[in-house]
Amino acid sequence: MNSIRKNLVTAGLIIVNIIVFLVVDFTGGSENTAHMIRCGAAYTPLIMEDGEWYRLVTAIFLHFGINHLLNNMVVLGVLGERLEALMNRFSYILLYFIAGIGGNLLSMALEMRSGEYAASAGASGAVFGMMGALLYILIRNRGRVLDLSMRRMMIMVGLSVYLGFADAGVDNAAHIGGLICGFAAAVILYHPKKNVSRQGG
């Protein structure tokens, strides 16, 4: 119970993602692209031509299949627990949405440039934003904070980016956009907590 109270935002985000997934899956299938678009997945023509900008937000809470959901929620849980300990809750939530929306915007911009459109959904942009934020926090704390080190985070980011590019079905633009936006947002939103000390060694 203490752990949930301490990680209230992270737990809340995970619960919302799971509930949305179950509703979508039971009402038409989370791997049914047409149904996902009806439920709010990002789709550039509908955003640009019909003004459905809300999709930049709703897409963050939709996932294509159980594996997509589980992969994102595991990483969200691991990174969120640490980020929530380092930032106030409002800043943490704001950063999450800035990164998720920023990732979707970059993905949309690149699709408009190429003229090739696909439905996009997932918390990945927001999760990559959390990685970007933790990278900045580590820089501010001279390479180590809590149980995190710069080396460990760089390995995680590098591996995540590599795995994304190794899979043809992944929206890598949303990942990179989220990473950049999360880093940039942390520059403004992160203010070191006095009770969180760096660990040496």
| Helical H segments across 29-88, by residue range | 33-39, 44-50, 55-58, 66-86
Question: What 3 state SS string does 148-165 have?
Answer: EEHHHHHHHHHHHHHHHH
Known catalytic residues are 124, 175
CA–centroid distance for 112 within its chain:
22
Helix (H, G, I), strand (E, B), or coil: what is residue 24?
helix
Both tokens assigned to 137: 């926090």
